[in-house]
Structure 1
Amino acid sequence: MAGLRALHRQTRFNQMLNVAAELFASQGYEATRIEEIAESAQVAPGTVYNYFTSKPNILMALAVRHVRAAYPERRDLVRNPPDDPIEAIYAFEKLLTEQALRTLNRECWRVIFSAPYREPDGPQHRLSRRFQGIIKRHYIQLLGGFQKRGSIKKDVDIRLFADLITAIGTYHFSRLISSDTMTIEELRVTVEEHLDLVFTGVIAKTSKRKKAATA
């Protein structure tokens, strides 16, 4: 019986999340009310509050589900990146952006990114830091692989470098979601400009990119 109750609870949880995601996408996060989510999910408003307590918590639950679902695709890219470090970083940033916008619209991500300012050290802020930590770990693995292959100088602190690249990516993603018209291609141009500047000081002389530039 306990197993059936847990399954029923998880099914209802997912049902409400799916409905919320659809409503956030179709009419916007701010315009969507808990009562509408309940009606579309065919549950009482009190049930939604029992599961999530608030609309921001529904949004954060959707973000958590997104991160879990996105992990395998990110892992595959980190394990099999393009040969060039800058191309690999941009490919990863592009993947992060495409995954994010497939799951939630820009308005939703603006709400998520504003959590540290609205509620410093609150649960949503802590969750945002966890997301950043996951991305940083991906970058440590990705950049560490390039360092082992000789494309990044041996004396570069990969953890600090991963911090920097994560910060650059976060900055550019925040620019993208703050605009309703900026395209991923426009994002690519600005990301590559910053990466070119950063990598001028860290690319090893034997790297393929250096050889191609001098050929």
Structure 2
Amino acid sequence: MAGLRARQKADRNRRILEAAGDLFRQSGYDAARIEDIADRAQVSVGTFYNYYKNKGDLLLATVAMEVEEVLETGRSRLANPPGDVAAALTGLIRVYYDHSLNYLTKEMWRTAMSISIQHPETPFSRHYTELDARLSAQVSAMLRTLQLRGAVRADMDAAGMGEIVFNNLNQLFIHFVMDEEMTLADLNILIARQNAIVAGLIAGERSAESRPQGAEGAAE
């Protein structure tokens, strides 16, 4: 019975998140009403408030759902990344970028970022920050794997460099969501160019050996 209740609760939560995402995209975050979200999710307004205190918490929960899926997809790349450092980094980061608009619009991302900065003490804001830390750790893990294979310099601080790479990709993503005209293709080209610079600084001896012919242009 407890298992059934847990599944029902998870199903209601998923319906609320999906209904909210649909309405946020269709009407905009500000115009979407909690009553309409509850109606579309087929739950009462009272039930909605059992899950979320306000629309801001709901939006950050939608971001969390997005990032959890990104992290899961990213894990599949950690076990066997390409030997070329630039290709490995760009492939992982494209997983992050290409998934970013599955549930969220640029407006939704901007609003979520604003809420997390204005109200950092809430559980959903803290979870938002924790997910960023997990993404950063995933980049560091990729670099450690490459380091063990000799593709990255042995004297490099993989954890620190992973944080630097993540901070850069995160800043580029902020620029992307602020610019309505910028496309994901534009963003991916930009990060590939910058990753090539990073790779040139940290690559070990085996990275050059593993680079496929014509790889310089493959990132674009």
Distance 2:3 2:160 in 1: 45
Tell me which amino acid in the other structure corresponds to 1:111. T
What is the one-letter code of the residue matched to 2:84? D
Please tell me whether the aligned partners of residues 136 and 166 of structure 2 are also in contact (alpha carbons under 8 angstroms). yes
1:10 CA drift (Å): 2.4
Moved more, 68-77 or 53-62: 68-77
Give the unaligned 5+ runs of structure 2. 215-220
Task: Say which SS state the counterpart of residue 103 (structure 1) adopts.
Answer: coil
What letter corresponds to residue 192 of structure 1 in structure 2?
A: A
Instruction: Please tell me the residue identity of whatever aligns with 1:87.
Output: A
Between the aligned partners of 1:34 and 1:206, the Cα distance in structure 2 is 55
Partner of 1:101: 101
Moved more, 17-26 or 164-173: 17-26
Contact 1:112 1:128 in 2 (8 A): no
Of the structure 1 ranges 101-110 and 59-68, higher mean CA displacement relative to structure 2 is found in: 59-68
Instruction: Say whether the 8 Å CA contact 2:29–2:108 is kept in structure 1.
Output: yes
Alignment of structure 1 residues 21-36 onto 2, 5 Å: 21-36=21-36
Secondary structure of the corresponding residue to residue 101 of structure 1: coil
- The residue that corresponds to 1:203 in the other structure is 203
2:155 is paired with a residue whose SS is coil
Q: CA RMSD in A?
A: 2.3
TM-score, with length taken from structure 1: 0.87
Task: Give the match for residue 217 of structure 2.
Answer: none
- Inter-CA distance 124–43: structure 2 relative to 1 (3 Å threshold): closer
2:55 and 2:67 mapped to 1: Cα distance? Answer: 19
Q: How many residues align?
A: 213
Q: CA deviation at 1:9?
A: 2.5
Q: Percent identity?
A: 27
Structure 1 equivalent of residue 185 of structure 2: 185
Instruction: Sort the Cα spacing of 1:50 and 1:154 in 2 relative to 1 into closer, same or farther, 3 A.
Output: same
Q: Distance in 2 between matches of 1:156 and 1:80?
A: 20
Shift, 1:29, TM fit: 1.8
Shift in CA distance, 122/177, structure 1 to aligned 2, threshold 3 Å: same
Q: 1:5 to 1:195 in 2, by over 3 A?
A: closer
Q: 1:111 to 1:209 in 2, by over 3 A?
A: farther
The one-character-per-residue Cα deviations of 1:110-146 (angstroms, maximum 9, x if unpaired) are 1222234312444343222211111122112210111
Give the 5 Å matches for 1:36-115.
36-115=36-115
1:48 and 1:148 mapped to 2: Cα distance? 48
Alpha-carbon spacing, 1:149–1:9, altered in 2? closer, same or farther (3 Å): closer
Residue 14 of structure 1 aligns with which residue?
Answer: 14
Q: Larger relative CO (CA 8 A, sep 6+): 1 or 2?
A: 2
1:125 and 2:125 correspond: yes
Going from structure 1 to structure 2, the CA distance change for 1:25 and 1:116 (only over 3 Å counts) comes to: closer
Looking at structure 2, the residues matched to 31 and 42 of structure 1 have their Cα atoms a distance apart, in angstroms, of: 19
- CA shift, 1:60, in A, is 1.9
Alpha-carbon distance in structure 1 between the residues aligned to 2:5 and 2:76: 35
Residue 209 of structure 1 and its aligned partner are, at CA, apart by 7.0
Per the alignment, residue 154 of structure 2 pairs with 154
